[in-house]
Amino acid sequence: MISFVIIMAETQGEDLLDTENQYRVESLTHKVSRLKSLVVDIESETKDHHMLLNGLGSEFEAGQSLLSNSFGRLRKMSSRHSNRQAMCYVTIVLLAAFFIIYYGVAFFKR
């Protein structure tokens, strides 16, 4: 009879351990699936940002070539003596327009 009680106690202990192991396995499975979804989200965000940065790089290159061409034309135009005076007036007008717009915007923001 005592051996029967010992066997029952061992069986209940094994069942308890089995239940605890199943709980831990389910917990780990849940954590792994959550980590997997996070990794997938990070991967998609990384790809999106990579494409965005590539697009920005090409846009900056286009802007750089536009500016370099414009400054090249200005340099060529200012190389002649008669155009230097005109370039001086254009520069003064552009600076005056910039400051008028700058202070106008600052005044109306208040």
- pTM for the predicted model, two decimal places: 0.47
pLDDT bucket at 76, cuts 50 / 70 / 90: confident
Quote the CA–CA distance of 4 and 78 in Å, as a whole number.
Answer: 109
- Is residue 49 domain-shared with residue 91, that is, in the same domain? no
- Is residue 52 domain-shared with residue 106, that is, in the same domain? no
Alpha-helical runs (H) found in the chain: 2-78, 81-109
For the stretch 88-100, pLDDT in tens is: 888 899 999 999 9
Q: Residue for token digits 């254009």? A: 90
- Is residue 92 domain-shared with residue 72, that is, in the same domain? no
Q: What range does the domain containing 55 cover?
A: 2-79
Tokens of 16: 């308890």
- Is residue 47 domain-shared with residue 99, that is, in the same domain? no
For the stretch 7-65, pLDDT in tens is: 555 667 677 788 888 999 999 999 999 999 999 999 999 999 999 988 888 888 888 88
Specify the DSSP class assigned to residue 79: T
Tokens of 71: 């400054």
